[in-house]
Structure 1
Amino acid sequence: MADFWIILTGTLVAATCGVLGCFLVLRKMAMVGDAISHSVLPGIAIAFLISNSRDSILMLAGAAVLGLITVFLIQSLQNGGLQSDASIGIVFTALFAIGVILISRNAAHIDLDLDCVLFGEIAYVQWDTLIINGYDMGPAAVWLLGGTLLLVLVVIGLFYKQFKLCAFDPALAAAVGIPVALFHYLLMGLVSLSTVASFESVGAILVVGMLIVPASTAYLLTDRLSVMLLYSVLIGAVSSAGGYYAAKWLDASIAGSMITVAGLLFVLAFVFSPLHGLVARYQKRRSLKAASA
């Protein structure tokens, strides 16, 4: 039963991050996901200090607020003339450092440490269960991640056309009256919530992999957004299951093995994708040379 809960938790994380990651990749904002996953740390620390509980909804709210602040600061620096990569690096390292200081100074008094936030431990999810009226409802992480995934699917489903148009052509979206800035910050808020909801299972560092790798792999396999979303979720699920059994075989980190499997799937797609793979591009070049000869 422990195997089932671990794989399910990894799949929920991968599905949530994979759906959002598709929009980040299409908007060329993959590193913004990296920035948010680190810069939400002070929001989590402050919320924990206020509520003195890792289960408090304040942690989700604190992460969402810091995520939006991160995006606002990055955008402000870019508007001020700073390059995109430099503004992202400055904002997320500064906020992440503040979060590290807040946690390290209070680690002796609260049940929260950097290992929990940065690396997580998905093998322990079955021990932290949700109890309602004396009934064991299963791992709390599964309910939290399931609720987060449901929220993401509902929001994306309701505003799919708007998110799609903003991802492919923001100028056209603005021209037809879509509030581009609103959907930009809504997407960033969902990324923030997904990030903090995943801390207990895979940690901040590995969330970055789930946000970027499955979506990037799916991007190489199709040119349709709807299919890309489906592929991203499937790749994440395969990575979770394959990574778990690889970790058992190697006696290694489960979360790390999941990202490794996702990376291997990306390499396969990068080489053999019928649309954008190295082999397909090589064959196209050979065909063009043969036709021009």
Structure 2
Amino acid sequence: MGFLVAGTCGLVGCFVILRRMALVGDAISHSILPGITLAFLITNSRDTLPMMLGAVVAGVVTVALIEAIRYTSRIKPDAAIGIVFSSLFAIGVILISVFADEVDLDAECVLYGELGFIPLQDIAYFGEIVIGPEPVVRMAIITLIAIVLLFAFFKEMIVTSFDSGLAASLGINPTRYQYGLTLFLSIVIVSSFESVGVVLVIAMIIFPGATALMLTDRLPIALVLSTVISGAYSLIGFHLATWLNASIAGGMTVIAGIVFGIVWAFAPQRGLIATFVRNRQIIQGSALNFSREEK
């Protein structure tokens, strides 16, 4: 389950980072709380479909509010994101508090989750064949959909991510793909929050893609690297959490931070050491040219 969440978030996260939407992903992950709470209150059901619909609506509202604040005021994007996600998350917490007897949701569950309880979840069947725990099956389907959509709209996603003006001139609507990415991001988050929590989802949206993009300039390679890196997070994080008797989601997030720190320092092109050496060579070359000119 951890690998499915990390891998899917990593694939989506590469495009989120390229579009400079990392903070928007954070905002959506917090802002879905009122959406899923209202969905439960309206339908009195914890079925996947109403929860996803509530999360998707909340995600779209979040992005729409952020864009509205940006374009109708002098408030900068980071401040707009902070205003929207903190307000919507607070509304969700208040709804849970007020309707605590009716809402079978726990704010700590939403934030932290617990991967260790997944084997205790309801089992999914295909006819009489046992497939596995429902959260794992659901996330596997979301992962498969992510891969299919990636192959189907790869060209459009690349063009709209790097140059929205060029995309518009080619007849590709950048706004449509922006909201499409937002919709899918909301679905991924709500599919994951009960088992892994929002904290891990936020980390996996950012860390695998950011780490991969530090290592390569080619997006296809970055997508593959983000998947491999996500697998490493899952495996090492699980063993770390088992050894420390701690949260699996916390272990994966810690490993993600450590791996990014190592790559940040030692990446061959963009790492701190490589950048320092390159800048030093430039300074030495400039100084040498200057001394020759004086002579």
TM-score by length of 2: 0.93
Structure 2 residue 72 is the aligned partner of structure 1 residue 99: no
Helix, strand or coil at the partner of 2:47: coil
How many Å separate the matches in 2 of 1:90 and 1:110? 26
Write the distance in 2 (CA, Å) between the matches of 1:202 and 1:114.
13
Structure 1 CA distance, aligned partners of 2:235 and 2:88? 34
Is residue 20 of structure 2 the alignment partner of residue 31 of structure 1?
no
Residues 122 and 200 of structure 1 are in contact (CA less than 8 Å); yes or no, is this contact kept in structure 2? no
| Residue equivalent to 2:77 | 84
**Residue 66 of structure 1 corresponds to which residue in structure 2?**
58
Return the offset for 1:218. 0.8
Which structure 2 residue ranges, 5 or more long, are not aligned? 289-295
CA distance in 2, matches of 1:44, 1:235: 30
Q: Comparing 134-143 with 217-226, which one deviates more in the overlay?
A: 134-143
Moved more, 176-185 or 135-144: 135-144
Amino acid aligned to 2:57 = V
Distance, in Å, in 2 between the alignment partners of 1:99 and 1:252 is: 27
Q: Which amino acid aligns with 1:206?
A: L
**3-state SS, counterpart of residue 207 of structure 2:** helix
Kindly indicate whether the alpha-carbon contact (under 8 Å) linking 2:41 and 2:102 is maintained by their aligned counterparts in 1. no
What does residue 3 of structure 2 align with? 11
Cα distance per residue 1:144-189 (max 9 Å; x no partner): 1111111222222111111101111111111211111100000000
Contact kept, 8 Å, 1:129 with 1:137, in 2: the verdict is no
1:255-274 alignment, distance < 5 Å: 255-274=249-268
Residues 50-59 or 80-89, more deviating: 50-59
User: Matches of 2:33 and 2:160 in 1, distance apart?
Assistant: 28
Residue aligning to 1:4: none
Residue equivalent to 1:44: 36
Structure 1 position 50, deviation (Å): 2.6
Q: Kindly provide the amino acid, as one letter, of the partner of residue 19 in structure 1.
A: L
* 1:133-152 → structure 2 map (5 Å cutoff): 133=127, 135-152=129-146
Q: Which runs of 5+ in 1 are unaligned?
A: 1-8
Contact 2:59 2:186 in 1 (8 A): yes
The yes-or-no answer on 1:240 pairing with 2:240 is no
Matched letter for residue 28 of structure 2: I
Q: Distance in 2 between matches of 1:134 and 1:273?
A: 50
Contact residue 120 and residue 200 of structure 1 kept, 8 A: yes
CA distance in 2, matches of 1:282, 1:93: 38
8 Å Cα contact 1:104-1:114 kept in structure 2: no
SS in 2 for 1:136: strand
- Aligned-pair identity in percent equals 45
SS in structure 2 of the partner of residue 201 of structure 1: helix
Q: Deviations over 1:56-106 (max 9, x none)?
A: 311011101110111111111111132101111111111111111111222
CA distance in 1, matches of 2:283, 2:106: 59
- What amino acid is aligned across from residue 10 of structure 2 in structure 1? G
Structure 2 CA distance for aligned equivalents of residues 31 and 232 of structure 1: 19
Structure 1 length-normalised TM: 0.94
The amino acid that maps onto 2:94 is I
2:57 equivalent to 1:57: no
In the alignment, which of 144, 166, 177 is matched to residue 160 of structure 2? 166
Instruction: State how far apart, in whole Å, the 2-side matches of 1:256 and 1:47 are.
Output: 28
Q: Is 1:288 aligned to 2:282, yes or no?
A: yes
Partners of 1:119 and 1:202 within 8 A in 2: yes
The residue aligned with 1:205 is 199
Q: Which moved more, 1:202-211 or 1:104-113?
A: 104-113
